[in-house]
Structure 1
């Protein structure tokens, strides 16, 4: 628990490091931030030969509290991207990278293989970012992951980052699971109903999932709630009802 607290306290320094123009400086700074949580910003600046005091930056807060390693990395990236005003671009670039790894088994294996030396990972990911013309924030972040052997978690981090950007935009994700894709008219009606529940100031973002195992009906995961109207669940409920002993005296 104490270690988790130290990691969370290092998030602002990690975010600051991600925005550094110098990758070598950024890498050493991040290592200090993660491994030495009490290492102060003034010490970092003096080690990096920054004699003049840094201009005061607006304080950025994450819209949703994130926990765990992936949540902390996503929070640090959010702070860096928000300061650089590149939230949407960074989100798009991360999702593009995840999509590329899903399509390429070789690339996916490279990101998961911890036997690959750190310098090799850093060099490869730097070249990939340069070719893809990724922003400096995304590039620096992926270098941090490569250097620390965390590339294998990039898909989870990307999801957590998307959760933060959605919260920033006032979007609420609703996951709709059906056996076949919802017809356009039914999707529109469902979205309208959920929007009424949310009220003004929030926007529903519908995500459809296909799962034949539910047999039919629909399952809606909305915020912290789950509306399960699937045939599978109804069948289980009916089975339990039929198995319960009947009290004829009632």
Structure 2
């Protein structure tokens, strides 16, 4: 992506400049309500988007999420939905995660809580400006930087994507095999899963290669797991052979 390239090209220079910057400058001020992620939906939305008008319908997250990362992802979802920019914010957040993960120096910079908050904020602001991110994404990343939560941005981004997928009626199915599925088998599996989910849902297939399963296939979607791997079958057979035989049964 062009945007991802812009982010990557900016990260290294910004990191070097800011890590060497003086740590004596005053810490930037961020609204106290942003410090703790355990806030209500109405409070969450005001942090990253324009104030709601009295007639504005209440926006709810499509999937309940818990924990710090879930709360941040939910807050961002509400703000992006109010700004009618869910897809744009999702794309920008993914670009940021992908680009910064490839810059080892910046990855360490994000995780180092010894770096003053104002330095983290300055770095993220510069990156977002260069990448031309939307205000919602920029403000959100600044909040993470100020609160020392940048080290969790990849997890937050994944949970945010789960929310946007649910909003679009998409269900991710993770298919694990030893070798890539042939195109015809992939199509057949996708059609089967689509039939199980029914209308109104769209299957997004993600393939994973894992030689440790020895063979067969493992399918995960929603809260369900279909494990038909050779590794699991071998373990089941082993348990069966170890169980004592009751000849009186």
TM-score with structure 1 setting the length = 0.81
Q: Establish whether residue 16 from structure 1 lines up as the match of residue 79 from structure 2.
A: no
Q: Deviations over 1:111-143 (max 9, x none)?
A: 111111000000000000011111110000000
Identify the residue that residue 123 of structure 1 maps to in structure 2: 122
Deviation beyond 3 Å, 4+ runs, structure 1: 6-11, 53-56
State the 1:54 CA deviation: 5.2
Whether 2:182 is the aligned partner of 1:183: answer yes
Asked whether the equivalents of residues 75 and 161 of structure 1 are also in contact (C-alpha less than 8 Å), the reply is yes
State the alpha-carbon separation in 1 of the partners of residues 101 and 73 from structure 2.
20
Inter-partner Cα distance in structure 1 for 2:88 and 2:166: 16
Describe the SS at the equivalent of 1:219. Answer: strand
Q: How much does 1:188 deviate?
A: 0.7
1:72-83 matches, cutoff 5 A: 72-83=71-82
Instruction: Provide the TM-score with structure 2 as the length reference.
Output: 0.82
Residue matched to 2:87:
88
User: Please, which runs of 5 or more residues in structure 1 have no aligned partner?
Assistant: 1-5, 21-40, 42-52
Indicate the residue corresponding to 2:192 in structure 1.
Answer: 193
Shift of 1:10: 3.2
Which 5+ residue runs of structure 2 have no aligned equivalent? Answer: 1-35
- Give the 3-state SS of the residue equivalent to 1:92 in structure 2: helix
Cα distance between partner residues in 2 of 1:68 and 1:57: 27
Do 1:11 and 1:72's aligned partners in 2 also have CA atoms closer than 8 Å? Answer: no
List per-residue Cα deviations over 1:162-190 (Å, max 9, x = no partner).
01000000011111111111111111110
Question: What is the CA–CA distance in structure 2 between the aligned matches of 1:152 and 1:8, rounded to whole Å?
Answer: 18
SS in 1 for 2:115: coil
Give the equivalent residue in structure 1 for 2:156.
157
- Taking the aligned partners of 2:167 and 2:122, their CA distance within structure 1 comes to 33
Q: 5 Å matches for 1:87-236?
A: 87-236=86-235
The match for 1:47 is none
Structure 2 SS opposite 1:153: helix
**2:44/2:78 contact within 8 Å kept:** no
Q: CA deviation at 1:107?
A: 1.5
Deviations 1:45-88 (A, max 9, x none): xxxxxxxx955422111111111110010001000000111100
Contact 2:49 2:136 in 1 (8 A): yes
Q: Which has the higher contact order (CA 8 A, sep 6+)?
A: 2
* Distance (whole Å) between structure 2 residues aligned to residue 130 and residue 80 of structure 1: 19
RMSD across aligned positions (CA) = 1.7
